Amino acid sequence: MKSVTEVFQPLQADDPVQVGDYRLAARLGAGGMGRVYLSHTRGGRPVAIKVVRPELADDPDFRRRFRREMEAARRVRGAYTAELIGGDAEGAPPWLATLYVPGPSLAEAVARSGPLPVPAVLWLLAGVAEALQAIHGVGVVHRDLKPANVLLAADGPRVIDFGISLASGVSSHTATGAAVGTPSFMAPEQASAAEVTQATDIFALGQTAAFAALGRPLYGDGPGVSVLYRIVHSDPDLSQLPEQLRPLIARCLAADPADRITAAEVVDRCRRLLGADLEAGVGPAAWREVKGPDPEIPPPVAEPTPLHVPPLGTWPYPPDAAAPVSAGGAGDDEGRRARRRRTALVTTAAVTAGALVLTGVVMLLGDAFGRLADRAAQGPSTGASRSADPSGSAGAASPGPGTGNPASGPTASASGGPSAQPTPEPYNGVFLDEKSSVGIRDGERRTDRRGDLRLVCDPGRCELESDSSVMVQLFGQEGNGLDMCRLMLRSATEHSWPMAAMAAGSRLCVRHPSGDIALLVVQVKSTYLPASSSDFVTADMTVWRNVFDRRSASSR
């Protein structure tokens, strides 16, 4: 679990200062959908701002799902949910705001302190079930309930990210109807891409409670495919659970959705099982010890003080100026003449400054049009893109469609003619283990080791490896995926990268000899030390075709 000092990270140069009406105070973390920041309402209440990744924001289907699910989630009200209070699906990039919950996730609390005591698990079950009642009451199914999406506040759990998982599609979702969710906490019907209902969330509730009681996933660890197979084809082993919890969790985990207990019945049973402990508040007291102290929340960011410039003609009189006298006197006429002279001087200075600025702009535009004319006269250059200019001006390009912030000028295709802006090709859920590989040119997972990228593990070390492609990791640089990768890959020479340097959310840029650039965002890393046969990595991969200027790299 993160310590109190690690909860809030300072903003870095690539972080936005403001999102919508919210000024950002600190980083909270990152997930499959984007970065999360701390901000405050106008009244000073802390909120969590989730800013969508550029790769997702460029997808029209994502924006449509995001808008629909955000509007549904906005209607959810409950004591055990982190209320959605704002957002903009049409923003650049899209974002949403929820009330900030000062407490660790259930996953972090268990990682730090181990399994929760039975009273705390019952209180957890009741609180999350009540949250599901509020979520289901407005027609929303969570679809991705898991320990990471349950926060432990001082007065009970809070469920987050309800209704948003379908929009993000970051776990196992594809455009052809595959499942959405996290494998270890899916229901059988969800794993087989069948109909998802409110009962699906009840199955995940049972798995989440079992995780809290055991300190590990009920269906074990390992590759997602293996976990899903066990969920679909085997009965859960509840023998390791505390006896008091087994009947209730078993009802949640019934294979047939129609046989599962309802959220209201879960609340009622938990109240009966808690008995006298309910009145004594044993449940919250038990996990207040688990959750640890609340972090000290950074204060709101002050609004910038606007620069006040007095209007023309209102400047104070200089010390040697003649004081105005009563109307009709000579001093009054002289004062008016002095004021007119000062106003004329100020006006002349302002007009002159404006003319100089305008002249500079015209000169810059003329120079730019001259360069464009020279380029047109010389003809297009093969495989070149303005963003890959060896002069290093990649960052000067203006935003455009497709990649979030590609070069504004026309790009060149592999044949040398003009083409549309680079279009990202997403490949979600890329899976790599020591028996497989993935191709960058086709995005296909291979069951042999002949693809462009492979996972190689030796005792004490795992790394991603390629025979022909070079790679580099992006550290603390959000920015635009394509532009940043193109810049960092200019001097890249490494054909392998250690997995020890990477975690969930880490980003790796890969340059294929063809000029294709791939950006891998790690979703799950299971590389144990020493190496074992169960080592694997899953990542979302985005590929841009023929966007790297090989001449600029070879000349460096």
Q: CA-to-CA distance for 401 and 420, rounded, in angstroms?
A: 10
Q: CA-to-CA distance for 516 and 519, rounded, in angstroms?
A: 10
Q: CA-to-CA distance for 533 and 514, rounded, in angstroms?
A: 33
Q: CA-to-CA distance for 552 and 556, rounded, in angstroms?
A: 7
- Candidates 200, 110, 95; CA nearest to 148 is 110
Q: Which residues, other chains included, contact 103 with Cβ-Cβ below 8 Å and sequence gap of 6+?
A: 151, 152, 153, 154, 158, 291, 294
Phi, psi of 416 (to 5 degrees): 100, -10
Residues noted as catalytic? 144
Element of type H or E holding 287: helix 282-291
Instruction: Find residue 81's DSSP bridge partners.
Output: 159
Tokens linked to 372: 């464009």
Q: Is 242 helix (H, G, I), strand (E, B) or coil?
A: coil
Q: Is 455 helix (H, G, I), strand (E, B) or coil?
A: strand
Neighbour count for residue 212 (Cβ, 10 Å): 28
Give CA 213 to chain center in angstroms. Answer: 30
Q: Which residues, other chains included, contact 109 with Cβ-Cβ below 8 Å and sequence gap of 6+?
A: 1, 116, 152, 287, 290, 291, 292
Q: Is 290 helix (H, G, I), strand (E, B) or coil?
A: helix
Instruction: Find residue 98's DSSP bridge partners.
Output: 48, 84
CA 258, 260, 261, 262 dihedral sign is: negative
Helices 198-214 and 106-113 cross at an angle (nearest 10°) of: 20
CA triple 487-490-492, angle to 5 deg: 115
| Pair 49, 37: CB distance under 8 Å | yes
DSSP calls for 148-206: GGEEEETTEEEE-STTTHHHH--SS--TTS---S-GGG--HHHHTT----HHHHHHHHH
Q: CA-to-CA distance for 242 and 339, rounded, in angstroms?
A: 90
Phi, psi of 133 (to 5 degrees): -60, -45
